[in-house]
Amino acid sequence: MNERDARAILFNAIEGGHPFWSREIFSLGAVRCYEKILNGQYDPIKHEKLINRVLTTSSDQVQSAIEKVGADFISPGDAMWPVNLDDLMLPPIALIGKGELAVLSQPSLAIVGTRNPTNYGARISGDFAAGFVDREWAIVSGGAYGIDSYAHKGALIAEGCTIAVIASGIDINYPASNARLFSEMCESGAIITEVMPGQPALPSRFLTRNRLIAALSQATLVVEAAFRSGSLRTARDAAELLRPVMAIPGPINSPTSEGCHRLIGERIAELVTSVADAVDFIGANR
Protein backbone atom coordinates (compact mmCIF):
# COMPACT_ATOMS: atom_id res chain seq x y z
CA MET A 1 0.00 0.00 0.00
CA ASN A 2 1.47 3.37 -1.04
CA GLU A 3 0.38 6.86 -0.04
CA ARG A 4 -1.60 7.53 -3.23
CA ASP A 5 -3.57 4.27 -3.03
CA ALA A 6 -4.30 4.84 0.65
CA ARG A 7 -5.56 8.34 -0.12
CA ALA A 8 -7.87 6.98 -2.82
CA ILE A 9 -9.49 4.56 -0.37
CA LEU A 10 -9.81 7.20 2.35
CA PHE A 11 -11.08 9.79 -0.14
CA ASN A 12 -13.92 7.44 -1.04
CA ALA A 13 -14.89 6.96 2.62
CA ILE A 14 -14.41 10.39 4.21
CA GLU A 15 -16.39 13.59 3.60
CA GLY A 16 -14.23 16.45 2.37
CA GLY A 17 -13.07 18.88 5.03
CA HIS A 18 -13.84 16.56 7.95
CA PRO A 19 -12.07 18.18 10.95
CA PHE A 20 -10.83 14.99 12.63
CA TRP A 21 -9.85 12.95 9.59
CA SER A 22 -8.29 15.85 7.68
CA ARG A 23 -5.98 16.57 10.61
CA GLU A 24 -5.29 12.89 11.20
CA ILE A 25 -4.24 12.28 7.60
CA PHE A 26 -2.23 15.50 7.49
CA SER A 27 -0.28 14.62 10.64
CA LEU A 28 0.15 10.84 10.21
CA GLY A 29 -0.08 10.33 6.46
CA ALA A 30 -2.69 8.31 4.60
CA VAL A 31 -0.86 4.97 4.83
CA ARG A 32 -0.56 5.16 8.62
CA CYS A 33 -4.25 6.12 8.98
CA TYR A 34 -5.25 3.25 6.71
CA GLU A 35 -3.15 0.81 8.76
CA LYS A 36 -4.70 2.07 12.00
CA ILE A 37 -8.17 1.47 10.56
CA LEU A 38 -7.19 -2.06 9.51
CA ASN A 39 -5.78 -2.74 12.96
CA GLY A 40 -8.89 -1.54 14.77
CA GLN A 41 -7.20 1.45 16.41
CA TYR A 42 -10.16 3.80 15.91
CA ASP A 43 -13.45 3.64 17.84
CA PRO A 44 -15.38 0.82 16.07
CA ILE A 45 -18.76 2.24 17.08
CA LYS A 46 -18.16 5.93 16.36
CA HIS A 47 -16.48 5.21 13.03
CA GLU A 48 -18.36 2.03 12.07
CA LYS A 49 -19.66 3.22 8.71
CA LEU A 50 -16.30 4.64 7.64
CA ILE A 51 -14.38 1.54 8.76
CA ASN A 52 -16.71 -0.77 6.85
CA ARG A 53 -16.34 1.33 3.74
CA VAL A 54 -12.55 1.32 3.96
CA LEU A 55 -12.43 -2.43 4.53
CA THR A 56 -14.65 -3.17 1.52
CA THR A 57 -13.03 -0.79 -0.98
CA SER A 58 -9.86 -1.08 -3.03
CA SER A 59 -7.84 1.67 -4.66
CA ASP A 60 -8.51 0.08 -8.06
CA GLN A 61 -12.27 0.36 -7.50
CA VAL A 62 -11.97 4.05 -6.68
CA GLN A 63 -9.71 4.77 -9.65
CA SER A 64 -12.01 2.83 -11.97
CA ALA A 65 -15.08 4.81 -10.84
CA ILE A 66 -13.24 8.08 -11.52
CA GLU A 67 -11.86 7.00 -14.90
CA LYS A 68 -15.34 5.82 -15.92
CA VAL A 69 -16.59 9.42 -15.90
CA GLY A 70 -13.55 10.70 -17.80
CA ALA A 71 -11.86 12.35 -14.84
CA ASP A 72 -8.53 12.12 -13.04
CA PHE A 73 -7.63 11.40 -9.43
CA ILE A 74 -5.17 14.02 -8.13
CA SER A 75 -3.23 13.42 -4.94
CA PRO A 76 -0.61 15.48 -3.04
CA GLY A 77 2.73 14.80 -4.66
CA ASP A 78 1.27 14.43 -8.15
CA ALA A 79 2.59 16.80 -10.80
CA MET A 80 -0.84 18.41 -11.19
CA TRP A 81 -1.49 18.87 -7.47
CA PRO A 82 -2.12 22.59 -6.64
CA VAL A 83 0.28 23.16 -3.75
CA ASN A 84 -1.67 26.25 -2.61
CA LEU A 85 -4.18 23.86 -1.05
CA ASP A 86 -1.53 22.62 1.36
CA ASP A 87 -1.86 25.94 3.23
CA LEU A 88 -5.32 24.96 4.52
CA MET A 89 -5.94 23.92 8.11
CA LEU A 90 -8.14 21.16 6.65
CA PRO A 91 -6.51 20.27 3.32
CA PRO A 92 -8.35 17.94 0.96
CA ILE A 93 -7.39 14.26 1.03
CA ALA A 94 -7.30 14.38 -2.77
CA LEU A 95 -9.20 15.91 -5.69
CA ILE A 96 -11.02 14.71 -8.76
CA GLY A 97 -10.44 16.86 -11.81
CA LYS A 98 -11.43 17.14 -15.44
CA GLY A 99 -9.95 19.32 -18.18
CA GLU A 100 -6.53 20.94 -18.52
CA LEU A 101 -5.31 20.31 -14.98
CA ALA A 102 -2.04 22.21 -15.43
CA VAL A 103 -4.14 25.37 -15.03
CA LEU A 104 -4.51 24.55 -11.32
CA SER A 105 -0.98 25.84 -10.75
CA GLN A 106 -1.47 29.05 -12.74
CA PRO A 107 -1.83 32.40 -10.90
CA SER A 108 -5.54 32.86 -10.31
CA LEU A 109 -8.19 35.20 -8.95
CA ALA A 110 -11.32 33.92 -7.24
CA ILE A 111 -14.46 35.86 -8.16
CA VAL A 112 -17.47 35.04 -6.00
CA GLY A 113 -20.86 36.50 -5.17
CA THR A 114 -24.61 36.16 -5.13
CA ARG A 115 -26.65 33.78 -7.24
CA ASN A 116 -29.06 36.66 -7.92
CA PRO A 117 -26.90 39.53 -9.18
CA THR A 118 -28.01 42.85 -10.55
CA ASN A 119 -27.06 43.81 -14.08
CA TYR A 120 -24.31 45.90 -12.49
CA GLY A 121 -22.87 42.91 -10.64
CA ALA A 122 -23.07 40.68 -13.70
CA ARG A 123 -21.19 43.22 -15.82
CA ILE A 124 -18.53 43.90 -13.17
CA SER A 125 -17.93 40.18 -12.68
CA GLY A 126 -17.31 39.64 -16.40
CA ASP A 127 -15.18 42.76 -16.72
CA PHE A 128 -12.86 41.82 -13.86
CA ALA A 129 -12.57 38.26 -15.15
CA ALA A 130 -11.56 39.54 -18.59
CA GLY A 131 -9.15 42.05 -17.09
CA PHE A 132 -7.26 39.39 -15.16
CA VAL A 133 -7.32 36.95 -18.06
CA ASP A 134 -5.56 39.66 -20.09
CA ARG A 135 -2.83 39.51 -17.45
CA GLU A 136 -2.61 35.72 -17.91
CA TRP A 137 -4.36 34.84 -14.68
CA ALA A 138 -6.98 32.11 -14.43
CA ILE A 139 -10.39 32.81 -12.90
CA VAL A 140 -11.66 30.56 -10.10
CA SER A 141 -15.28 30.32 -8.98
CA GLY A 142 -17.92 27.81 -7.94
CA GLY A 143 -19.82 27.08 -11.15
CA ALA A 144 -23.13 28.27 -9.66
CA TYR A 145 -25.73 30.65 -11.06
CA GLY A 146 -25.14 34.36 -10.87
CA ILE A 147 -21.74 35.93 -10.21
CA ASP A 148 -19.98 32.56 -10.53
CA SER A 149 -21.36 31.97 -14.03
CA TYR A 150 -20.65 35.52 -15.19
CA ALA A 151 -17.06 35.24 -13.96
CA HIS A 152 -16.52 31.94 -15.79
CA LYS A 153 -18.15 33.33 -18.96
CA GLY A 154 -16.12 36.53 -18.79
CA ALA A 155 -12.91 34.51 -18.71
CA LEU A 156 -13.98 32.34 -21.64
CA ILE A 157 -15.11 35.31 -23.73
CA ALA A 158 -11.67 36.84 -23.17
CA GLU A 159 -10.18 33.54 -24.39
CA GLY A 160 -8.69 32.73 -21.00
CA CYS A 161 -8.74 29.87 -18.51
CA THR A 162 -11.25 29.38 -15.74
CA ILE A 163 -11.64 26.80 -12.96
CA ALA A 164 -14.85 25.67 -11.27
CA VAL A 165 -14.65 24.17 -7.80
CA ILE A 166 -17.92 22.28 -7.50
CA ALA A 167 -19.77 20.78 -4.54
CA SER A 168 -21.04 17.66 -6.33
CA GLY A 169 -19.56 14.70 -8.15
CA ILE A 170 -17.58 15.58 -11.27
CA ASP A 171 -20.20 13.80 -13.40
CA ILE A 172 -23.11 15.89 -12.12
CA ASN A 173 -23.83 19.19 -13.84
CA TYR A 174 -25.11 21.38 -11.03
CA PRO A 175 -26.87 23.53 -11.94
CA ALA A 176 -28.00 21.52 -14.97
CA SER A 177 -28.38 24.61 -17.14
CA ASN A 178 -24.62 25.21 -16.85
CA ALA A 179 -23.77 21.91 -18.57
CA ARG A 180 -22.60 23.66 -21.72
CA LEU A 181 -20.55 26.15 -19.69
CA PHE A 182 -18.83 23.30 -17.82
CA SER A 183 -18.00 21.62 -21.12
CA GLU A 184 -16.49 24.81 -22.54
CA MET A 185 -14.48 25.37 -19.38
CA CYS A 186 -12.76 22.00 -19.69
CA GLU A 187 -11.35 22.90 -23.11
CA SER A 188 -8.82 25.33 -21.64
CA GLY A 189 -9.49 25.24 -17.90
CA ALA A 190 -10.70 22.69 -15.38
CA ILE A 191 -13.39 21.49 -13.00
CA ILE A 192 -12.40 20.03 -9.64
CA THR A 193 -14.19 18.52 -6.66
CA GLU A 194 -13.37 16.65 -3.45
CA VAL A 195 -16.34 14.27 -3.61
CA MET A 196 -16.75 11.03 -5.53
CA PRO A 197 -18.70 10.72 -8.81
CA GLY A 198 -22.43 10.45 -8.36
CA GLN A 199 -22.51 12.46 -5.12
CA PRO A 200 -25.12 15.27 -4.95
CA ALA A 201 -24.45 18.92 -4.15
CA LEU A 202 -25.47 18.99 -0.47
CA PRO A 203 -25.68 22.37 1.33
CA SER A 204 -22.79 21.44 3.64
CA ARG A 205 -20.58 20.68 0.65
CA PHE A 206 -20.92 24.22 -0.67
CA LEU A 207 -19.49 25.55 2.59
CA THR A 208 -16.56 23.12 2.66
CA ARG A 209 -15.70 23.69 -1.00
CA ASN A 210 -15.51 27.46 -0.39
CA ARG A 211 -12.22 26.96 1.45
CA LEU A 212 -10.81 25.33 -1.71
CA ILE A 213 -11.79 28.34 -3.83
CA ALA A 214 -10.03 30.64 -1.35
CA ALA A 215 -6.89 28.51 -1.06
CA LEU A 216 -6.51 27.75 -4.75
CA SER A 217 -6.42 31.46 -5.63
CA GLN A 218 -3.81 34.13 -5.02
CA ALA A 219 -6.59 36.62 -4.19
CA THR A 220 -10.37 36.77 -3.83
CA LEU A 221 -12.85 39.34 -5.16
CA VAL A 222 -16.43 39.55 -3.86
CA VAL A 223 -18.61 41.32 -6.43
CA GLU A 224 -22.10 41.25 -4.90
CA ALA A 225 -23.19 39.38 -1.77
CA ALA A 226 -26.02 39.58 0.74
CA PHE A 227 -25.35 40.34 4.41
CA ARG A 228 -25.37 36.59 5.12
CA SER A 229 -23.78 34.81 2.20
CA GLY A 230 -21.54 31.85 1.46
CA SER A 231 -19.33 34.25 -0.46
CA LEU A 232 -18.46 35.96 2.80
CA ARG A 233 -17.26 32.60 4.10
CA THR A 234 -14.96 32.33 1.08
CA ALA A 235 -13.64 35.83 1.77
CA ARG A 236 -12.98 35.00 5.43
CA ASP A 237 -11.27 31.75 4.45
CA ALA A 238 -8.99 33.72 2.13
CA ALA A 239 -8.25 36.30 4.83
CA GLU A 240 -7.32 33.53 7.29
CA LEU A 241 -4.79 32.33 4.71
CA LEU A 242 -3.43 35.90 4.51
CA ARG A 243 -4.49 36.16 0.87
CA PRO A 244 -5.65 39.56 -0.45
CA VAL A 245 -9.43 40.01 -0.29
CA MET A 246 -11.28 42.69 -2.27
CA ALA A 247 -14.89 43.78 -2.55
CA ILE A 248 -16.84 45.85 -5.07
CA PRO A 249 -18.95 48.64 -3.53
CA GLY A 250 -22.57 49.11 -4.55
CA PRO A 251 -25.51 51.39 -3.73
CA ILE A 252 -25.88 51.78 0.05
CA ASN A 253 -29.50 50.61 -0.15
CA SER A 254 -28.83 47.52 -2.29
CA PRO A 255 -29.35 44.19 -0.46
CA THR A 256 -26.97 42.50 -2.91
CA SER A 257 -24.14 44.78 -1.81
CA GLU A 258 -24.65 44.54 1.95
CA GLY A 259 -22.15 41.68 2.26
CA CYS A 260 -19.48 43.59 0.32
CA HIS A 261 -19.99 46.67 2.49
CA ARG A 262 -19.78 44.48 5.59
CA LEU A 263 -16.42 43.04 4.48
CA ILE A 264 -15.09 46.52 3.71
CA GLY A 265 -16.39 47.93 7.01
CA GLU A 266 -14.82 45.09 9.00
CA ARG A 267 -11.48 45.71 7.22
CA ILE A 268 -11.52 42.17 5.84
CA ALA A 269 -11.70 43.37 2.23
CA GLU A 270 -10.16 46.25 0.34
CA LEU A 271 -12.57 48.42 -1.63
CA VAL A 272 -11.71 48.27 -5.34
CA THR A 273 -13.45 49.97 -8.26
CA SER A 274 -11.32 48.89 -11.22
CA VAL A 275 -9.08 46.11 -12.46
CA ALA A 276 -6.14 48.48 -12.02
CA ASP A 277 -7.10 48.97 -8.35
CA ALA A 278 -7.21 45.21 -7.85
CA VAL A 279 -3.88 44.62 -9.57
CA ASP A 280 -2.22 47.34 -7.48
CA PHE A 281 -3.65 45.97 -4.24
CA ILE A 282 -2.62 42.37 -4.96
CA GLY A 283 0.85 43.57 -5.86
CA ALA A 284 1.10 45.44 -2.56
CA ASN A 285 0.23 42.27 -0.66
CA ARG A 286 2.82 40.02 -2.30
Q: Percent of the chain having pLDDT more than 90?
A: 98
- Supply the pLDDT for residue 283: 84
Q: Vertex 214, ends 209 and 216: CA angle to 5°?
A: 90
**Nearest-CA neighbor of 178 among 141, 213, 210?**
141
Residue-level pLDDT at 258: 97
Mean pLDDT of the chain: 96
Q: Has residue 285 got a pLDDT over 60?
A: no
Q: Is residue 82 part of a domain?
A: no
Instruction: Tell me, yes or no, whether 176 and 277 share the same domain.
Output: yes
Residues in CB range of 186: below 8 A, 6 or more apart: 98, 99, 100
Residue at 136 is within a domain? yes
Flag whether pLDDT at 133 surpasses 90. Answer: yes
Confidence at 193, pLDDT banded by 50, 70, 90: very high
Do residue 260 and residue 139 come from a single domain? yes
Q: Are 270 and 281 in contact (CB under 8 A)?
A: yes
Phi and psi (nearest 5°) for 73?
-90, 125
Mean pLDDT of 136-163: 97
Residue 197: cis peptide before it, omega within 30 degrees of 0: no
Q: Is residue 242 assigned to a domain?
A: yes
Domain housing 149: 101-284
DSSP calls for 218-262: SEEEE-S--SS-HHHHHHHHHHHTT--EEE----TT-GGGHHHHH
Does 92 reside within a domain? no
Same domain flag for 173 and 127: yes
Q: What is the pLDDT averaged over residues 231-258? A: 96
- Tell me how far apart the terminal alpha carbons of the chain are, to the nearest angstrom: 40
The answer to whether residue 88 sits within a structural domain is no
Instruction: Evaluate whether 157 touches 172 at the Cβ level (below 8 Å).
Output: no
pLDDT tens by residue, 92-122: 999 999 999 999 999 999 999 999 999 999 9
Residues 13, 25: Cα–Cα separation, whole Å: 13
Give the chain's domain count: 2
pLDDT at 284: 53
> 95 Cβ partners below 8 Å, 6+ apart?
73, 74, 75, 81, 85, 192, 193, 194
pTM of the predicted model as reported, rounded to 2 decimal places: 0.95
User: In terms of domains, do 167 and 268 share one?
Assistant: yes
Contact call for residues 13 and 57 (beta carbons, < 8 A): yes
Q: What residues contact residue 161 under an 8 Å CB cut-off, 6+ apart?
A: 100, 103, 106, 133, 138, 139, 155, 188, 189
Residue 47 shares a structural domain with residue 107: no
- pLDDT higher than 70, residue 244: yes
Q: What is the pLDDT of residues 196-239, one digit of tens each?
A: 999 999 999 999 999 999 999 999 999 999 998 999 999 999 99
Which amino acid does the sequence have at 235?
Answer: A
Q: Are residues 145 and 232 in the same domain?
A: yes
Q: How far apart are alpha carbons 264 and 286 in whole angstroms?
A: 20
Beta bridge partners of 111: 221
